[in-house]
Amino acid sequence: MRQTLSMNEFDAFNVYLAFKLHFTTDRYDITKTRGAVKTKTETFYKRSDQFNFKRLAEEFSEDELPKFLIANHVDGNRWGGAFIYEEALQVYNLWRGRLQSLTKNLKNDLDEICSELEEEDINKFDKSFVVKDEQHPLLLQMYSRGDVKIETMLILDAINNYLSYWDKMLGDDFFWKEERRKLIKYRPFLDLDVDKYKVIVYSRIQKYDESHINSLISC
């Protein structure tokens, strides 16, 4: 990695703990607490796993470590990759690649959604968001299978605010509650050009919907 603003192992532990609380609990919001956590130096140095945090401090700058932890929490690791460094580093690099390809990935994901709608014989794109009989909507099913990326999910929500609708319709669905937290907690760390993505999304929706209107007319 690189060294600009440096940390020691206790600093790295505090950053790790703040992001763990942020991503795994509802009550802690790192954007409001600015990473403040209650820890004691003497308690930390009694931990048997402190070498993991020493490695993080050596490998990452103060600016980079949060990104490493975010990437791994988004990937589903409750400890932000702190204890499986080599695997977590791969996750981090893949995440960085995704952020550099947001537009390309969005377009690919929209094509995937349209293909799935086609297979299901569904004639309007917006129906991919619809919850029926408390069943997971098509978009959520695709996301759970890994067919739609989490960044695409958040771009679509930034455009049409479907998460609040799913909250009302899915109620206490366990899978949704867990994934909702991840989406909500990840959202502040994505710098999205919403106006740019609106053009891409609306254009693809219009193309899909019009093609099915035309096919119905021709019948």
Range name among 2-16, 51-65, 80-94 with the lowest pLDDT average:
2-16
CA 122 – CA 89 distance, rounded (Å): 40
Check pLDDT > 70 for residue 41. yes
Annotate 111-131 with DSSP letters as a single string: HHHHHHHHHTT---GGGGG--
Q: Percent of the chain at pLDDT above 70?
A: 94
Query: From the CB of residue 61, how many other CB atoms can be counted at a distance below 10 Å?
Result: 16
102-218 is a CATH 1.10.220.50 domain? yes
What pLDDT, on a 0 to 100 scale, did the predictor assign at position 211? 81
Q: Smallest Cα–Cα separation from 114: which of 106, 102, 122, 105?
A: 122
pLDDT level of residue 5 (50, 70, 90 thresholds):
low
What pLDDT, on a 0 to 100 scale, did the predictor assign at position 193? 96
What pLDDT, on a 0 to 100 scale, did the predictor assign at position 4? 54
Asked if domains 9-99 and 102-218 share a fold, the reply is no
What pLDDT, on a 0 to 100 scale, did the predictor assign at position 197? 98
Residues 6+ apart with CB under 8 A from 158: 192, 194, 197
Interval 173-210: pLDDT, tens: 999 999 999 999 999 999 999 999 999 999 999 999 88
Task: Tell me which fold the domain 9-99 belongs to.
Answer: Helicase, Ruva Protein; domain 3 (1.10.8)
Q: Where are the domains of the chain?
A: 9-99, 102-218
User: Which 3 state secondary structure label does DSSP give 132?
Assistant: strand
Q: Smallest Cα–Cα separation from 149: which of 185, 175, 188, 183?
A: 183
Count CA atoms within 13 Å of residue 143 on its CB side: 23
Question: How is residue 169 written in tokens?
Answer: 């319709």
What pLDDT, on a 0 to 100 scale, did the predictor assign at position 141? 97
